[in-house]
Amino acid sequence: MKTVPRSKVIYSFSSQHKPAEHIKPGEIVLLETEDALGGQIKNEENSLDVLDWSKVDGATGPIFIEGAEPGDTLAVEILDIKIDEKGLIVTVPKHGILGEKPFKPSTKMAITKDGYVHFDEGVRVRADPMIGTIGVAPESDEIPSGSLGRHGGNMDVKMLTAGTKLYLPVFVEGALFAAGDMHAVQADGELCVSAIEVAGEALLKFNLIKNRKPKWPILEAHGSFAILACGKTLDEAASSASRAAVKALMREYAWSFEMAYMFGSLTVDLEINQVVDPKKGVRAVISKEFMSLDSLLT
């Protein structure tokens, strides 16, 4: 098993980055990740003013997967996630869904122990560790690791926990995968722009599906598939997720648009990933009872 240390950090997804590691399909990799603030904040007195913002939202990688070519799908299985005890959450003026309100920059440290995040005196939340940023190099240019798109990136999907699988479209040779920004817990929305930000380790297994790819990243959970779309607004993201879901239903059942559209009203749940990143994220979730992976790839 190969380990990619958290010192191998990138701040954009790009075909221009030199691989931190090369692996073969089927290999398992231990990826160490720094917290989203680059480990720069050690206590609550540490003002956000001291932050070097160029060291924020990093991802560990990139990993070159041998044989991955544009038009393929990279399948990433999240075998395990381990997180540090020590985490933190911040408010940043002008950020988050209520960024128009006047409020102060603030930092709250939170320890994760015995399965709970201890947020405040007597107030704890069940931990549910997840990976916030995960993706591959995009087709052209570079995309900051704090943003998101068809290549994945800072999607902040709370479903992205151990035991799930992510299917990413490959745009460049080797795919150039990277991940980071773990959260000890996050709700759908991520209202204030951060969650419980922690350093950690992810145990990942990579495989390839040749010559087929999804339009948007696809998350496979125990009983469902989720199409992870994004857009400038929630409405735009919801439209894109819906369009992809209805097209997949047309393929799955060989139905007309009208039939798939109606069935989507009954079986496709539009759910919010986050409302605070450069693009808003909406997932279209559909039970495996009604959808196969095959219909989600073209």
Catalog residues that contact a copy of itself under the rule CB under 8 A: 89-91, 96-98, 101, 103-104, 106, 108, 117, 119-120, 123, 125, 185-196, 233-235, 238-239, 242-243, 245-246, 253, 257-259, 261-272, 275, 280, 282, 284, 290
CA distances from 265 to 64, 247, 268 (A): 40, 13, 6
Among residues 203, 201, 198, 202, the alpha carbon closest in space to that of 85 is found at 198
Q: Which residues of 242-270 are buried (b: 16+ CB within 10 A; e: fewer)?
A: bbbbbbbbbbbeeeeeeebbebbeeebeb
Beta carbon of residue 260, minimum distance to a copy of itself (angstroms, whole number): 9
Q: Is 212 left (phi over 0), alpha (psi -120 to 50) or beta?
A: beta
Of 172, 155, 183, give the one whose Cα is nearest residue 279.
Answer: 155
**79/255 with CB nearer a copy of itself:** 255
In contact, 291 and 252? CB cutoff 8 Å: yes
Q: H helices within the chain, ranges in order?
A: 234-253, 257-267
For a copy of itself, give the closer residue by CB, 171 or 290: 290
Phi, psi of 147 (to 5 degrees): -105, -175
Q: Shortest approach of a copy of itself to residue 133 CB, angstroms?
A: 16
Among the listed residues 151, 121, 126, 195, the one whose alpha carbon sits nearest the alpha carbon of residue 61: 151
Q: Closest distance between a copy of itself and the C-beta of residue 225, in Å?
A: 14
Tokens 């560990």 correspond to what residue?
A: 60
Q: Which is nearer to a copy of itself, 54 or 265 (CB)?
A: 265
Q: Distance from first CA to last CA of the chain, Å, rounded?
A: 32
Q: Output the DSSP codes for 187-199.
A: -TB-TTS---EE-
SS3 state of residue 140: coil
- Taking the least distance from each CB to a copy of itself, the nearer of 127 and 166 is 127
Closest separation between CB of residue 290 and a copy of itself, Å?
Answer: 8
Return the number of the residue (34 or 156) whose C-beta is nearest a copy of itself: 156
- Residue 133 or 242 with smaller CB distance to a copy of itself: 242
Nearest approach, Cβ of residue 181 and a copy of itself (Å): 14
Instruction: Give me the residue label for tokens 């591959």.
Output: 136
Give min distance, CB of 161 to a copy of itself, in A: 15
Q: How far apart are CB 247 and a copy of itself at their closest, in Å?
A: 10
Give the separation between CA 182 and CA 197, rounded to whole angstroms: 6
Smallest distance from the beta carbon of 112 to a copy of itself, in angstroms?
A: 12
Q: Which is nearer to a copy of itself, 65 or 196 (CB)?
A: 196
The residue to which tokens 């009203």 are assigned: 265
113 or 123: CB nearest a copy of itself? 123
